[in-house]
Amino acid sequence: MTAPISTEVTDDGIAILTLNRAPVNALVPAFLEDIAATLDSLATDARVHAAVLTSGLGVLSAGFDLKAAQAFTLADETDIVDHLNTDFATMYAFPKPLITAANGAAIAGGLFFVLTADYTVAVPQATFGLAEVRVGANFPVGPLEIARDALSPEVQRRLMLGGHPVDATDARTMGIVDEIAEPEALMGRALAVAREYAKNPPLAYAAIKAQLRQPALAIIHDAIDNGSDPTRAGWFTAETKAAMAAMISDLR
């Protein structure tokens, strides 16, 4: 059985993280925790100068596991909210260059593998979106503040209130991704960007990245520390499970 996350480090210090939670890298607490723990380890590994995150499947990530959510209790809702907040914050605070090679769709929670990156290269076939409104769920504080920080107000409005994905060309125009490359060139370009970013003095890189992201991260960590994210008291509403079931039906 393929591990849900694999890591290899190139001879010149680029760590390649490949997500392999079949079939679509759906997000569950253990998977998110493993990704965050891997990045925590790479952050202190002197061999590693930058990281590239990609998928070994046909999509980058389809987001939250809607099928599993049909049976969620209130405790389950709180657990996934806590992991979305804590683990995406870990990704956003990663002090080294983090480049995403988006080989397929990045939807809902899956989009945060793009929004937490420093640079994203995507294939032309990839699509990108925040579908939470369509499944009757609002945003925990971590994803909300990262989206606010990484996206312009106009793009936030379009993605978060419309709920429909955009193609790679529109995503490039909207600043969601930085570059489009054909599938056979994707990893080569992502590795080239990682190597270019890794040439910067690492202490300065980490400090400037922290300066840029500190306001959003401060809000997230304050909510984590104080348990003040309102979604912890019940993320789902009376609409949510029916909306999720309808989305699952539409995807069949």
147-157 pLDDT, tens per residue? 999 999 999 99
Report the pLDDT value the prediction gives residue 140, as an integer from 0 to 100.
Answer: 97
Report the pLDDT value the prediction gives residue 1, as an integer from 0 to 100.
Answer: 63
Q: Which domains does the chain have, with CATH numbers?
A: 5-198 (3.90.226.10)
> Rg (Cα) of the chain, in Å, rounded?
17
Hey, how many other C-beta atoms are within 10 angstroms of the C-beta on 102? 33
Q: Retrieve residue 65's tokens.
A: 């596991």
pTM: 0.96
d(CA 116, CA 27): 15
d(CA 10, CA 45): 13
**pLDDT tens digits, residue range 220-235?**
999 999 999 999 999 9
| Residue 4 three-state SS | coil
Beta partners for 107? 129
d(CA 168, CA 226): 38
Q: Retrieve residue 41's tokens.
A: 């380890």
Q: What are phi and psi of 119, to 5 degrees?
A: -165, 140
Report the pLDDT value the prediction gives residue 92, as an integer from 0 to 100.
Answer: 98
Q: What are phi and psi of 176, to 5 degrees?
A: -75, -40
Q: What is the mean pLDDT of each run of 10 residues along the chain (252 residues)?
A: 91 98 96 97 97 98 90 93 98 98 98 98 98 95 98 97 97 98 98 98 98 98 96 92 85 68
Report the pLDDT value the prediction gives residue 70, as an integer from 0 to 100.
Answer: 85
Residues 6+ apart with CB under 8 A from 67: 26, 248
Burial tier of 161 (Cβ tally within 10 Å: 0-12, 13-18, 19+): exposed
